[in-house]
Structure 1
Amino acid sequence: MHNNKKSLPPMVDVLIIGNGPVGATLAALLGRYGVQTLVVDKVHDILLMPRAIALDNEALRILQLAGLTEDAFEKIVIPEVRMRCPLVGQFGRANTRGSLDGHPKLVTFYQPDLERSMRAQYRRFDSVESLGGFELEDLCQDSDGVTATLLDEDGDRQQVRARYLVGADGASSKVRSLIGQDFKGQSYSEDWLIIDVAERGQRAIDHVEFLCDHRRPTPHMPAPGGRERWEFMLHPRESREQMESDENIATLLQPWIERDQLKIERKAVYRFHARCCERFQNGRVFLIGDAAHITPPFVGQGLVAGLRDAANLAWKLAWVLDGRANPKILDSYDQERRPHAREMIALAKLMGRLVMPRNAPMALLGHGLMRMLSLLPPLRRYFEELEIKPKNNFKRGLFVSHVRGRQLRRGGLFPQGLVRAADGTIGLSDDTVGDRLTLIGFGIDPRAQLDAEAQRKWEHCGGGYLQIGLHGQKSLATTPFVEDLSHSLLGNAPADSLAVVRPDRIVMHEGPKTRAADLVRESLALLGH
């Protein structure tokens, strides 16, 4: 039901402009932390068109963090990505079989299904409200908050006051423009025709394939619901109308589909960009997702990067709003996320150059060289096992500086594994860690390493505890305890050591049990205590 002429609340903690998958995920995360949140969007309903199509294990882990169950929306697990050239044959491959941190390495999905599930998730929280039919016109911020002026569907102005505002309003972000962060410089840009075909069933391929033909590069992949997608690069003088005609599409797809079996679900020409803001924050206003950075789709990281933004920002806003942390910690959002977003954009541009050689000699040289390099085991592993993908490890931010040689990386993602709780329940470890700042003990009770005063300070700032034991071990302590069934957690840290893990699963600090009090004190100091 549409909320026509509904009035905006006078005051909220966080106002999110944009109710796409990234904005909705941020709302769900803030809802888990009990933050009073309002999400507004120009439209009421989900666009019933597939757009983003790929998610990696990190993205699925963030969706888990936001509360989505494994079966919340349909996915197709992708076992491999192949790169093939008509001149040299298959010259590249990525092994995406198996799982990392409890999730498949790569899946395809149908974006409307994900958005529907995430909206249903945030509606479970009384602290979250969403309204369609409102468009941001202006914003003004001061030392205490942000006043946003919005236009409703009748053109009437309404205002809402928020302590913080987040722009999740996509590539043409109004928020980005209002805070003076419009994209600058030259954009890498290419026009591509995206075709989604329905009723493919068992005839669809089961992997992702890049046909790296200099005459017409074509990525090709399956999608849930019996769908299949093709992407065709446009030549300089080809028009949108020409490319989107049914006759042209039937000709392009003729190598795969007979004309009488062609069921086009969507056809659209998009321009792929590579852009990144100079800053993801201006005072009390933040940018996430495509509002902050736009990534070409060649490594499937566009939406993934936006989900990383949401996970990084949500808990920091929650801790500041609850008085558990100094507002200065919010500066770490840009410090941590912008460098990694830029690295992903650079990787996507590199992959784009591999996909789109300009002529036959360049294709023969580049793809032939890649095929020869794949004969060398170290280089083959580098590409096939996705080691080329930049790790989500921060160089600066809200963590104690990393010490070279340590097993567990400070500023990196804490691993996830299969665990069994004291009541016999088996599940993924993130669900046990929960929404708190957590002091984790590897084979030891972390609470027992602290005196009463340190425990009090830790718990006052939203700190919790978790002891991880070997498969088959039990604990008599009252501290939450899990068995590491896959040894994927205990194998990443020294025995009898501790780690401080942030709610977004980044390692804030780690060290031996003899330094337990220092770990807690130094972690709280980062929060401003």
Structure 2
Amino acid sequence: MGLQMNNKNSAPLPTSVDVLLVGNGPVGAGMATLLGRLGINTLVIDKVHDVLLMPRAIALDNEALRILQQMGLSEDAFERIVIPQVRMHCPMLGEFSRANTSGSLDGHPKLVTFYQPDLEHALRARYASYDCVRPATGLELLDLQQQAKGVLARMRDENGIEHQLEARFVVGADGASSLVRSLIGQDFEGESYSENWLIVDARGREGKAIDHVEFLCDHRRPTPHMPAPGGRERWEFMLRDGEDQAYMESSEQVAKLLARWIPADQLQIERKAVYRFHARCCSAFSKGDIFLIGDAAHITPPFVGQGLVAGLRDAANLAWKLAWVLQGRAARSILDSYDQERRPHAHEMINLAKFMGKLVMPRTVPAAILSHGMMKLMRTIPAARRRFEEMEIKPKNVFKQGLFIPAKQRGQLICGGLFPQAGVRLSTGDIALSDSLLDDQLTLVGFQSDPARHLGPSLRRRWEQMGGGFVQLARQNDSCARTGTGTGTGTGTGTMVAQAPQSLLDKAPEGMLCVVRPDRIIMACAEDGDANRLLSSCLRQLETE
């Protein structure tokens, strides 16, 4: 028998679910979408019914866009603006640094801006297509109790009636003030900045907005400035000591701040709000059967645009692991790797954002001249210039420990790092991004080698029974890539074959095999002669208890 329904749902709530997801923002909705793709019975709860019509996050990088691709969002699912460069300007020294964000990586632009409500609507529509995912809004979480196996959740609806629900796992995606985090005793570690910032979003600037991101690193009032879809622009003004929040948010004062960009009579303010930035992270992203993702686990200052991106990385890492445990395809112990893999990288991104914050917010003229002057001087050194301008300073999403088998780097492939993506030609003649061959399973990928041909019959059956797949990346115009039918099966061994560009084939030596996880992380690599040992090692890491 189900619980009493709330006033925004047409059916009674369940009394038990596989995953209770707390929070229906972009990270929670993304997590729900991934769980839906994997067939996991999921309930998404949130106190709020509708998407908040306020732009908050504004930037996504190529990794985030790749995760959204995995969630099934097409390129036109939400509008975006491709950002070709990021410039940093000092009033005394002029432009002292820039980052080249033109071009693409792994099939997606390096940097885009977007309008968050559009993305949230797209994600909600996506997970609504899965019968196993149920949103239940107007529900407030009250308490969580870890049981021998699973979690008992207590909630309250809008009528003040309390309900209980049993969940095998709980995921807290309930933001920076996360109740889930408090209930499991994971207080934030780190710092909050002492400065307040006035965020101003204006619209109606079609054809007039800038096409790049600029940081005006003025010690008197630092001001990041960037465009967004729909003729929008964002400015972030640091408030000085003693400036009154209400006064700074007044229409008159906002018009003064924006006068250098927009005449007052053309000003269309969409949002204005004062925030304080934070650089904080939990000491653990899980406790028992309860997990934290997104801002519930870590908060990143906005200076590198990685807040939402980090949350999407969390969702991609955790969703498939929960699914495989629930489906009996892997041991409960693999969930320990979520914290091992995600927390160090989240820390690295926070540290990068703090470093950028120091460049953006110099306190005095001498501090500005020293820090900005050093950055300008480093541009004369080719290696240092490349490190900053080509964004090599950005920490790579490569794990130091976790659910992978460490090995010597093979070509450009790193175990524990992301598998590359590129456009490939299927046996049908269609062009697609190569992740479409990987789907939501573990995949054994062969570089110019059919990976299935190298396996013994029993090991191959075991691999296929637990959902493992096979992909061969062949040379363009290779005859074996044209012998199949359907969407790419072309070897007679059940292997999906695609003609890959040389840029992708150059990532690894011919005959190299890689096991790629559903989140596109390389789990293990070996030469095709070691295929049996390679799969046996991966299966041992996943083995059920």
State the Cα distance separating 1:4 from its structure 2 match: 5.7
Report Cα offsets for 1:53-87 as digits up to 9, x if no partner: 00000000000011101111000000000000100
The question of 1:183 aligning with 2:188 is answered yes
Query: Which structure 2 residues correspond to residues 69-108 of structure 1 after superposition, within 5 A?
Result: 69-108=74-113
State the Cα distance separating 1:8 from its structure 2 match: 2.3
Partner of 1:497: 512
CA–CA distance in structure 1, aligned partners of residues 242 and 467 of structure 2: 59
The question of 1:507 aligning with 2:502 is answered no
CA–CA distance in structure 2, aligned partners of residues 365 and 186 of structure 1: 25
Segment drifting more, 179-188 vs 153-162: 179-188
Partner of 1:27: 32
Partner of 1:231: 236
Contact 1:402/1:411 (<8 A) preserved: no
CA–CA distance in structure 1, aligned partners of residues 497 and 346 of structure 2: 34
Amino acid of the structure 2 residue aligned with 1:226: G
Report Cα offsets for 1:312-352 as digits up to 9, x if no partner: 00000011000000000000000000000000000000000
Report Cα offsets for 1:141-192 as digits up to 9, x if no partner: 1121111001101111011111000000000000000000021454345311
Contact 2:58/2:115 (<8 A) preserved: yes
State the Cα distance separating 1:405 from its structure 2 match: 6.2
Contact 1:438/1:502 (<8 A) preserved: yes
Change (3 A) 1:189 1:69: farther
Partner of 1:206: 211
Segment drifting more, 1-10 vs 408-417: 1-10
CA–CA distance in structure 1, aligned partners of residues 340 and 195 of structure 2: 30
Partner of 1:247: 252
User: How many residues are treated as equivalent by the alignment?
Assistant: 529
Structure 2 gap ranges (5+): 1-5, 484-490
Report Cα offsets for 1:67-119 as digits up to 9, x if no partner: 10111100000000000010000000000000000000000000000000000
Please state whether the residue corresponding to 2:463 is helix, strand or coil: helix
Amino acid of the structure 1 residue aligned with 2:372: H
CA–CA distance in structure 2, aligned partners of residues 143 and 411 of structure 1: 32
Contact 2:191/2:278 (<8 A) preserved: no
Please state whether the residue corresponding to 1:392 is helix, strand or coil: coil
Q: Which runs of 4+ in 1 moved over 4 A?
A: none
Partner of 1:412: 417
Out of 344, 360, 365, the residue aligned to residue 349 of structure 2 is 344
Partner of 1:487: 502
Partner of 2:541: 526
State the Cα distance separating 1:485 from its structure 2 match: 4.0
Normalised by the size of structure 1, how large is the TM-score? 0.98
Change (3 A) 1:416 1:220: same
CA–CA distance in structure 1, aligned partners of residues 159 and 11 of structure 2: 11
Change (3 A) 1:501 1:5: closer
Contact 1:193/1:244 (<8 A) preserved: yes
Contact 1:81/1:96 (<8 A) preserved: yes
CA–CA distance in structure 2, aligned partners of residues 409 and 316 of structure 1: 21
The question of 1:49 aligning with 2:33 is answered no
Contact 1:192/1:270 (<8 A) preserved: yes
Contact 2:38/2:440 (<8 A) preserved: yes
Contact 2:51/2:121 (<8 A) preserved: yes
CA–CA distance in structure 1, aligned partners of residues 495 and 64 of structure 2: 27
Out of 367, 382, 387, the residue aligned to residue 387 of structure 2 is 382
Change (3 A) 1:522 1:91: same
CA–CA distance in structure 1, aligned partners of residues 244 and 276 of structure 2: 12
Over the matched positions of the two proteins, sequence identity in percent amounts to: 63
Out of 423, 431, 440, the residue aligned to residue 436 of structure 2 is 431
State the Cα distance separating 1:459 from its structure 2 match: 1.1
Structure 1 gap ranges (5+): none
Normalised by the size of structure 2, how large is the TM-score? 0.95
CA–CA distance in structure 1, aligned partners of residues 338 and 394 of structure 2: 21
State the Cα distance separating 1:7 from its structure 2 match: 3.8
Contact 2:415/2:522 (<8 A) preserved: yes
CA–CA distance in structure 2, aligned partners of residues 483 and 162 of structure 1: 41
User: How large is the Cα RMSD of the aligned pairs?
Assistant: 1.3
